[in-house]
Structure 1
Amino acid sequence: MAPPTVAEAIRHRRSVRRFRPDPVPETLLHELLELTMEAPSSWNFQSRSVVAVRDPVAREALSRAAYGQRQPREAPLTLVFLAETGRWHEDLSGIYRAARDNRAWDEDFVHATATSGIDFQRALDARGLGREYAVKDAVIAATHAMLAASAAGLASSPMNGWDEAQVLGAIGADHRDGLAVALLLSVGYPAEQHRHPGRLPLHRVAFGDRYGESL
C-alpha cells in the first residue's frame, strides 16, 4: 500500500484523546523525530528541542502538569516541544559549517547570519520578543510532527494548557534557564475515530491582498 501523500496526511489528521497502549516502535520514533526536526526555523538557529516522554511515571507527571488531561497518561508517547530562547548565545559554528558543506550558504550569507542574524536576535530580546520567536520555531516543528505521525498511521493530540514549571520538572529541565514549553503532543495508535468537525468556509478566513477582500 502506497504511503499517503502530504495532502492526504493533512486531510486525514484528526486530534484524538484516547489511545491504545501499544508503544510506538523505536525505529518509527526516530524517523518521526528526524522528520520533525526538518522544520524550518528563524535564521536556521533551530531554537527548539523536543523531549520524547515514554516513561509512565513521567507521563503521569505530565498529565498532572496539564491539569489532569488524560492524553499524556494514556498515550505511549508525549512529545514536549521546548523553545530554546538562548540558542543564539551558543556556539553556532556547527550550523554554519553544515550549511557550507552542503553548499546551501555561500560565505556572504554565513557572514550575514553570524552578524545580522545575531543582531536580530539581540534586538528581539531587547523588545521582549525572544521567547515568542523561539516558541514559533518549536510550534512549526510540532506541526511537522503531527503530519509525520498522521502519514505513519499514528494519531496525535496537540495540547495547550499546563503549568510550565511542572512540565519542566517532569522532564528534568527545571534547572535550565532559557527554556519555555511551547506545546505538548501526545502520540500513539488511536483508540477512537473522529469525524472531521468542519472548518470555516475559505472566504471567511482567506483573503486576497487586503484583509476582508475576496480572493
Structure 2
Amino acid sequence: MSVAEAINTRRTVRHYRPDPVPADLLDTLLALAVQAPSSWNLQDRSIVAVTDPAVREGLTWATGGQPQPQEAPVMLVFVAEPQSWRTDRSDIIAQGRDTGAWTEAFATHFAAASAEFQQSLDERGLLREYAVKNAMIAASFTMLAATELGLATSPMNGWDEAKVKKVIGIEDREDLAIALLMSVGYAAEQRIHPGRRPPARTVHRDRYAAA
C-alpha cells in the first residue's frame, strides 16, 4: 500500500473485533511510529501501549465510557515530554554523529543551539505546545502505518488528562502532558468516507484568503 493509498483509505473506527493484535505486528507499528520527525530531533514524546484489560478499563473511565477502550485490544497513549530537553541527550547527538548524518561541527552546534531554542520556548511558555505538536506528528505516522498493516485506528478526544495520567501511572508528573489517545485493532464496522471540502476551499497560496 502506498502512502497515498493509506491516506485515502484510512477511516476512524470506533468499534472493534476482540481479536488481539499480534505482538510482532504491534512492535512493527510502534517502531514505525517513533520514526516520526520531531523538532530538533529531540524526540520529546513517548507512547504507552496499553493491552492489559484492567488498564483499558481505566481508560474507559478516563474517556467517559467511550467504546474504543472497551473494545479495541490496544490503546496507545501519546505522552508529550516538554522538559525532556533538560535531560541527557548525548545518545541522540552520538547517534547522529555515528550514522554520518551529522558532522562533528554540526553535532557541537546542535547541542548548544537546540538548548538555546528550547530555552526561548520556555521563556515564552511554549514548551508544552511544541512537545504536543511532536507527539501529534508521531500519532499521524501511527495511523498511516496501522492502515498499511491492516489495522484500524481512532484518534480520540473527550478524555480527562488527569484521569489518563492516573491510569498510566504518571499522575504525579506535572512535567508530562497527554497529547492523544488512539485505539488500535481490527475493525468491527465499515466506515464510509464522509468527504472533505475541496482543496480550493481550504488550501491557500502565499497568503490566507478570507472567505
What is the CA–CA distance in structure 2 between the aligned matches of 1:11 and 1:100, rounded to whole Å?
Answer: 37
1:104 aligns with 2:101: yes
Equivalent of 1:44 in 41, 44, 61: 41
Which amino acid in the other structure matches residue 132 of structure 1?
E
1:52 is paired with a residue whose SS is strand
What is the CA–CA distance in structure 2 between the aligned matches of 1:93 and 1:8, rounded to whole Å?
Answer: 38
What is the CA–CA distance in structure 2 between the aligned matches of 1:185 and 1:108, rounded to whole Å?
Answer: 40
State the Cα distance separating 1:46 from its structure 2 match: 0.3
Which amino acid in the other structure matches residue 125 of structure 1?
D
What is the CA–CA distance in structure 2 between the aligned matches of 1:152 and 1:164, rounded to whole Å?
Answer: 29
1:196 is paired with a residue whose SS is coil
State the Cα distance separating 1:67 from its structure 2 match: 1.6
State the Cα distance separating 1:15 from its structure 2 match: 0.1
What is the CA–CA distance in structure 2 between the aligned matches of 1:55 and 1:151, rounded to whole Å?
Answer: 25
Runs of 4+ residues deviating >4 angstroms: none
1:169 aligns with 2:166: yes
What is the CA–CA distance in structure 1 between the aligned matches of 2:106 and 2:79, rounded to whole Å?
Answer: 27
1:182 is paired with a residue whose SS is strand
Structure 2 match to 1:123: 120
1:160 aligns with 2:175: no
> What CA deviation, in whole Å up to 9, does each residue of 1:88-144 have, x standing for no partner?
011000000000000011122212221111011011111110000000010000001
Structure 2 match to 1:146: 143
TM-score normalized with structure 1 length: 0.95
State the Cα distance separating 1:176 from its structure 2 match: 2.5
1:87 aligns with 2:84: yes
Which amino acid in the other structure matches residue 96 of structure 1?
I
For structure 1, which segment, 39-48 or 109-118, has the greater mean C-alpha deviation from structure 2 after superposition? 109-118
State the Cα distance separating 1:57 from its structure 2 match: 1.0
Residue identity over aligned pairs, in percent, reads 57
What is the CA–CA distance in structure 2 between the aligned matches of 1:165 and 1:186, rounded to whole Å?
Answer: 19
Which amino acid in the other structure matches residue 144 of structure 2?
L
Structure 1 match to 2:23: 26
What is the CA–CA distance in structure 1 between the aligned matches of 2:172 and 2:208, rounded to whole Å?
Answer: 44
Structure 1 match to 2:74: 77
What is the CA–CA distance in structure 1 between the aligned matches of 2:63 and 2:124, rounded to whole Å?
Answer: 30
Which amino acid in the other structure matches residue 135 of structure 2?
A
Unaligned runs of 5+ in 1: none
2:154 is paired with a residue whose SS is strand
Structure 2 match to 1:57: 54
Equivalent of 1:136 in 123, 133, 138: 133
What is the CA–CA distance in structure 2 between the aligned matches of 1:123 and 1:208, rounded to whole Å?
Answer: 30
2:18 is paired with a residue whose SS is coil
TM-score normalized with structure 2 length: 0.97
1:191 aligns with 2:188: yes
